[in-house]
Amino acid sequence: MKGTYDDLHYNFWEGWFTSAFQVNEFNSANTLWMTYFISAQSIEEEDQGKIFKKILQTVYTSLPDILGVLFLMKGDAEEDDIKKCFEPLGEYFEEMNCRNREVLKQVRGVHYNSKVFFSSQLLVLPFIEVRVAKQEDHDDLAAVFNSQSETITEIYGDYFLAELIAAQDDSNKALVAQVKDKAIGLLGLTSDLDVKLLHECFDLNQHDNLLKPGFMDAVNNRREFLRSQQEKEEQQKREAELRRLKEETMKCNIISQRI
């Protein structure tokens, strides 16, 4: 599309953007700009939007800190180009209200009639609510688990989810992720852990062996002290052995000279 790509100023946009649109939440750490989108001629126009949606979903799942994607439609872009290139993607963007268009006149490379569109991750990713699990969630969760693996059901039975939810107390909790009115995921939490068994099955060093950081620091310091002491003792033994060998060599030289 003509006039939609500015390769000189896209890294310095926060100042003029904030002044013109009076939006303070967006910055280069949490927002991306779409400079162009290319689809092959073999892709039908009605499918371009679906493909673009998948791309946005990949962006937001790969970069969870991103609030959304901005698109600058240059004011001098031709109408035919806009209709052909942007309209298939337009359902995933909302035009932002420019509060001070005079600012755009002072920005080199940005036409004063330019428009900025914003695509929020909420437009392509569902809002997920996390709450305490209820017995009514069993059927939805069972469908999720069975679609991925039947091994758990074979081991624990058909109603292990219902038993897990019903067994909640102060030490055991079950949380579900819900989209609209349907449970789509389950997280089991417990404070009743067999730490010894976990140590036997997993390498927990990178997790401080499930100990408090202060205590683990003291353990590591003690380990380092014992390791250094052991290295020092081994070094002293090597030096003592070298001295003994040197003395034996000198004795042998003296005896050989007498002979």
Q: Is there a single domain that holds both residue 88 and residue 33?
A: yes
Q: Is there a single domain that holds both residue 35 and residue 95?
A: yes
- Residue 114's nearest CA partner among 26, 5, 241, 8 is 5
CA 202 to chain centre: 23
Interatomic CA distance for residues 84 and 80, integer angstroms: 6
In a domain, 8, yes or no: no
In a domain, 250, yes or no: yes
Token pair, residue 211, equals 């100990």
Question: Residue 82 sits in which domain range?
Answer: 14-123
Q: Is there a single domain that holds both residue 188 and residue 245?
A: no
Q: Quick one: pLDDT at residue 39?
A: 64
Q: Quick one: pLDDT at residue 78?
A: 79
Domain edge (last residue) among 78, 106, 123: 123
Q: Quick one: pLDDT at residue 175?
A: 94
Q: Is there a single domain that holds both residue 22 and residue 83?
A: yes
Using the structure block, give the residue that is written with the tokens 């080199």.
Answer: 108
Count of structural domains, the chain: 3
Phi-psi region of 257 (alpha: psi -120 to 50; beta: other; left: phi over 0): alpha
Q: Is there a single domain that holds both residue 44 and residue 91?
A: yes
Q: Is there a single domain that holds both residue 35 and residue 77?
A: yes
Q: What angle do CA 132, 134, 137 make, to 5 degrees?
A: 110
Domain edge (last residue) among 75, 98, 123: 123
Q: Quick one: pLDDT at residue 41?
A: 65
Q: Quick one: pLDDT at residue 197?
A: 85
* Helix ranges restricted to H, the chain: 14-21, 45-62, 79-85, 102-105, 138-148, 151-156, 160-166, 195-201, 213-258
Using the structure block, give the residue that is written with the tokens 């992720």.
Answer: 177
In a domain, 6, yes or no: no
Q: Is there a single domain that holds both residue 172 and residue 231?
A: no
Domain edge (last residue) among 105, 123, 141: 123
In a domain, 97, yes or no: yes
Interatomic CA distance for residues 234 and 245, integer angstroms: 16
Q: Is there a single domain that holds both residue 99 and residue 183?
A: no
Q: Give helix then strand counts, H and E, for the chain.
A: 9, 7
In a domain, 231, yes or no: yes
Q: Quick one: pLDDT at residue 35?
A: 81
Residues linked to residue 72 through DSSP beta bridges, in sequence order: 116
* Helix ranges restricted to H, 22-85: 45-62, 79-85
In a domain, 1, yes or no: no
Q: Is there a single domain that holds both residue 46 and residue 111?
A: yes
CA 88 to chain centre: 29
The strand order across the sheet containing 128-132 reads 128-132, 172-179, 182-190
Q: Quick one: pLDDT at residue 130?
A: 93
Q: Is there a single domain that holds both residue 169 and residue 119?
A: no
Q: Is there a single domain that holds both residue 69 and residue 153?
A: no
Phi, psi for 167 (deg, rounded to 5): -85, 10
Low-confidence ranges of the chain (pLDDT < 70): 1-11, 39-42, 45, 258-259
Rg (CA), the chain: 33
In a domain, 233, yes or no: yes
Token pair, residue 108, equals 């080199």
Q: Is there a single domain that holds both residue 105 and residue 52?
A: yes
In a domain, 4, yes or no: no
